[in-house]
Amino acid sequence: MKVMFASDIHGSACCCQKLLEAFDASGAGRLVLLGDILYHGPRNDLPAGYDPKEVIRMLNGCRDKIYGVRGNCDTEVDQMVLEFPIMADYGLLEFGGKVFYATHGHLFHQDHLPPMQEGDILVHGHTHLLKAEYFQAEGIGRIGIVNPGSVSIPKGGNPATYGILEDGVFRIFSFNGDVVKELAL
């Protein structure tokens, strides 16, 4: 199954629209949202097209295809209006025989790993910096670390991006369709 990963929409309706258009065009069966869905957060400027109510409407329209985890800007109030669960700090997903530990990244990340086993993949957002690499984790072994970047507020000179997992390869795409980074898992 082809799966899309995205993080840090931060209430931007125009960026959410681009994401959902890319999701539809990709043929992915699921969209994994890695948190920070509706609120821009006190440290961020308002993203372009900030309209959380429109983001709610758009995402609820495809609720049956979304897996979500809680970001540091997501609250119980957000869960009251979203029709898919987002309040778990992490989700364990299995695709193609690989275990993916999906989380936002504010609690668990490369410098503070959750319980993992060699060969597992940690997928998170939060930093707004895309990443796709292997990491030799002390006491665990080799694990994958992937971050699809940010849909609305990219940092580090990166474009707005999302990730696609297909046939054992995690690719990070810009919204103009370019592959920015990839990792064979």
The ranges assigned to domains in the chain are: 3-184
pLDDT tens sequence across 143-174: 999 999 999 999 999 999 999 999 999 999 99
pLDDT for 46 beyond 90: no
Question: Rounded CA gap, 113 and 4, in Å?
Answer: 23
- Nearest residue to 123 via CA among 98, 108, 140, 102: 102
Measured CA angle at 171 (ends 168, 177), to 5 deg: 140
Q: What is the mean pLDDT of the chain?
A: 96
Class of domain 3-184: alpha beta
Residue 142: both structure tokens together: 């080799």
pLDDT for 43 beyond 90: no
pLDDT for 52 beyond 90: yes
Structure pTM? 0.96
